[in-house]
Structure 1
Amino acid sequence: MNTKVSVIEDLHLDKKYIHEAAEIIKSGGVVAFPTETVYGLGADALNEEAVKKIFIAKGRPQDNPLIIHVCDKDVSLLVNDIPTVARKMMENFWPGPLTIILNKKDIIPSVTSAGLCTIGIRMPANDIALKLIELSGKPIAAPSANISGRPSPTDIERCVQDLNGKVDYILGGEKSNVGVESTIVDCTIDPPCILRPGGITLEMLREIDDKIYIDPAIMTTPSENLKPKAPGMKYRHYAPKAKVTIVEGNLQKTIEKINEIVQNYIEKDLRVGIIATEETKELYKAGEIISLGSRKELYAVAKNLFETLRAFDDLNVDVILSESFEEEGVGIAIMNRLRKAAGFDIIKV
């Protein structure tokens, strides 16, 4: 397949590229495009054959549901009922990195929802994404624009690495400014439940409903029998080529343990990557060290996480050791992604 790649530097001057991409969506094709969370791989959510192309391009399991992206807060054509709490979330956080799970209408094909009677919907906070949806005249089903299981792309270069020759069009814009996928909240139950943490935090959502909670299963190894209600609940995700191990616990002990493990790996002629922070990067004695940013700025850490995992692929490391982060605010999303990237391989100190 011949993939066209276009980069939008000015939304008004380069709008023709969005028109081209929208025509591909209309005709049943597949387009990678930027959002504020990560880059997405989109197709007409109501076209069964088009949606199947997403799964083929990504190598994505068919039982992993997709998220539908819209450009308007009125989603009544797609879902059967919208609880008051869901409406409040839309008013407060749309457009933005929040996906709301609702009961779907039959207009949404089974392949889009992975056979579920529910569907996740969000309105992205990205001008290119919103214009693409508007011009296509279609709700767009879109997981992240990467090969399934790999770290999600936050810029066009990583999309091209993974999907060139596998999709019809790659539409580039600025680097994603959130850096982890959207928060997913199940509003088909009361109280609502967070099925995937993201940039909209538990604390923020509890301003809407103080009973909202996080599904405890999302931070543990998923069951083989799990039927995922939201993307990323069942399968290993966000994984670089190298094996990832997280060291959790007291920060000083974490640094000591990582230094100890690094030496053991070096003695075995293994190339080691270390995920560090601005506060700790000078304390490691060997290895390829990349700082995610300051521990005082967890949103910056989240923004840099996936690109850092991919950067270690560029460095051809054999193993990656990562510090852990405080599980509050967006730190919950960071640790959720790290644990999945590591396949829940964790050393406690």
Structure 2
Amino acid sequence: METKMLSTSASDLELAAQLINQGQVVAFPTETVYGLGADATSEEAVKKVFAAKNRPSDNPLIVTVASVAMVERFVSEIPDIAKKLIANFWPGSLTIIMRFKEGALSPIVTGGLTTVAFRLPANPMTQKVIELADTPIVGPSANISGKPSPTTAQHVLHDMQGKIAAIINDGATEIGVESTVIDVTTPVPTILRPGAVTPEQLEAVIGLVASEKRKVGQKETPKAPGMKYRHYAPDVPVYMVKPNDWKAAIIWAQQQLSTVGIMAPDDIIAAQQLKGMDFVWSLGSGVATANAKLFAGLRYFDNRDDVKLILVHYFEQDGLALAYDNRLGKAASGQFFVNEN
């Protein structure tokens, strides 16, 4: 199969919708990362997504919609708390887990659970494709499972060439990490995956929220992506570096026989006199830009044969840093650089 690279022209968006209606898989842009789309009501189409990603079958999929009316096709009612979240954060990078009508969605989509995650992304091109197809689409990130998520169409092509029908190219994504996932079926609404919508923003709308930080057991089915399996990881080891450890980390890296990739904010790069070095990836001026640049940097170094290890800046955990540190922590399997001197 040849994977077509589509533009955002009206004719190409129409073609993308036709491919989805034909049961094909099409990668689509969002404000967070690129997703892998197929008709959420077709078991055969959804199976193609699992095959393309090499995704575990018990890892449920997000259902991506173009309107609240699409959600209403699959749920008996939208809870009041979800209505508040929808009014404040949709379209946008918030995924909401609700109970769905029995038999309304295949167990392949839901992982056999009685709940399902819905999202209405802010990208107007993707909204248009879903409207034209007149069906919700599944929307996991458009990468091989376990690898860093794609923030450009070229990242998707690297992983999905020949595996899917088409990719809609809308340039680099703005946010760079996947959506916040909140479960509103629990006694206290619970964040299952942090993202660009922060706990503080959610609490301003619906009051107290909880955060689920435990790892799901081997025999459990996760309610949301990223709760059970290894995610976001390149082939080479990744170590997190706390701000005060960078000087020692740079000295250590320079002593290694193989190249060590460095991913750090601009102030760290300037302080350590690393500007312009080809083994350095800028994370920009702060955590917002770091979110947008994290996955691209991990992919850049993972594609270099000379880089055998990557050191990445760690931010203190609050606000947007929760999403960044969540993704980085999984890419690094929780490992920090330790200054032994």
Shorter-normalised TM range: over 0.9
Note the C-alpha offset of 1:315.
3.1
Residue in structure 2 matching 1:66, options 61, 65, 71: 61
Residue in structure 2 matching 1:272, options 260, 263, 273: 260
Please list the CA deviations of residues 147-169 of structure 1 after superposition, one character each: whole Å capped at 9, or x if unmatched. Answer: 11111111111111111100011
Note the C-alpha offset of 1:277.
0.6
Please list the CA deviations of residues 300-348 of structure 1 after superposition, one character each: whole Å capped at 9, or x if unmatched. Answer: 1111111111111233311001121021111000000000111222246
Note the C-alpha offset of 1:173.
1.0
User: Partner residue of 2:148?
Assistant: 151
Give the Cα–Cα distance (whole angstroms) in 2 for the partners of residues 234 and 187 of structure 1. Answer: 20
Distance 1:80 1:300, change over 3 A: same
Write the letter of the residue equivalent to 1:196.
Answer: R
Note the C-alpha offset of 1:239.
1.0
Give the Cα–Cα distance (whole angstroms) in 2 for the partners of residues 67 and 293 of structure 1. Answer: 30
Give the Cα–Cα distance (whole angstroms) in 2 for the partners of residues 306 and 291 of structure 1. Answer: 12
User: Partner residue of 1:11?
Assistant: none
Give the Cα–Cα distance (whole angstroms) in 1 for the partners of residues 171 and 75 of structure 2. Answer: 32
Q: Does 1:98 align with 2:94?
A: yes
List runs of 5+ in structure 2 lacking aligned partners: none
Distance 1:258 1:222, change over 3 A: farther
Q: Does 1:293 align with 2:284?
A: yes
Give the Cα–Cα distance (whole angstroms) in 1 for the partners of residues 312 and 153 of structure 2. Answer: 26
User: Partner residue of 1:84?
Assistant: 80
User: Partner residue of 1:244?
Assistant: 238
Residue in structure 2 matching 1:27, options 22, 26, 41: 22
Please list the CA deviations of residues 37-63 of structure 1 after superposition, one character each: whole Å capped at 9, or x if unmatched. Answer: 111100000111110000000111111
Note the C-alpha offset of 1:3.
1.6
Q: Does 1:169 align with 2:166?
A: yes
Matched length: 333
Segments of 4+ moved more than 3 angstroms: 221-226, 283-287
Give the Cα–Cα distance (whole angstroms) in 2 for the partners of residues 278 and 345 of structure 1. Answer: 23
User: 1:120 touches 1:230 (CA, 8 Å); kept in 2?
Assistant: yes
User: 2:6 touches 2:12 (CA, 8 Å); kept in 1?
Assistant: yes
User: Partner residue of 2:250?
Assistant: 259
Write the letter of the residue equivalent to 2:325.
Answer: M
User: 2:111 touches 2:221 (CA, 8 Å); kept in 1?
Assistant: no
Give the Cα–Cα distance (whole angstroms) in 2 for the partners of residues 213 and 257 of structure 1. Answer: 37
Give the Cα–Cα distance (whole angstroms) in 2 for the partners of residues 329 and 348 of structure 1. Answer: 25
User: 1:275 touches 1:322 (CA, 8 Å); kept in 2?
Assistant: yes
Note the C-alpha offset of 1:285.
6.7
User: Partner residue of 1:224?
Assistant: 218
Residue in structure 2 matching 1:49, options 37, 44, 51: 44
User: 2:249 touches 2:337 (CA, 8 Å); kept in 1?
Assistant: no
Give the Cα–Cα distance (whole angstroms) in 2 for the partners of residues 210 and 270 of structure 1. Answer: 50
Give the Cα–Cα distance (whole angstroms) in 2 for the partners of residues 81 and 344 of structure 1. Answer: 40
Give the Cα–Cα distance (whole angstroms) in 2 for the partners of residues 313 and 209 of structure 1. Answer: 41
User: 1:259 touches 1:285 (CA, 8 Å); kept in 2?
Assistant: no
Write the letter of the residue equivalent to 2:60.
Answer: P
Normalising to structure 1: TM-score of the pair? Answer: 0.91
SS at match of 2:19: helix
Give the Cα–Cα distance (whole angstroms) in 1 for the partners of residues 4 and 192 of structure 2. Answer: 35
**Identity, % of aligned positions:** 43
Write the letter of the residue equivalent to 1:305.
Answer: L
Q: Does 1:17 align with 2:12?
A: yes
User: 1:73 touches 1:94 (CA, 8 Å); kept in 2?
Assistant: no
User: 1:255 touches 1:283 (CA, 8 Å); kept in 2?
Assistant: no
Write the letter of the residue equivalent to 2:228.
Answer: K
Write the letter of the residue equivalent to 2:61.
Answer: L
Write the letter of the residue equivalent to 1:233.
Answer: M
User: Partner residue of 2:299?
Assistant: 310
User: Partner residue of 1:199?
Assistant: 196
Please list the CA deviations of residues 112-170 of structure 1 after superposition, one character each: whole Å capped at 9, or x if unmatched. Answer: 01111110001010011000100001001110111111111111111111111000111
Give the Cα–Cα distance (whole angstroms) in 2 for the partners of residues 348 and 64 of structure 1. Answer: 34
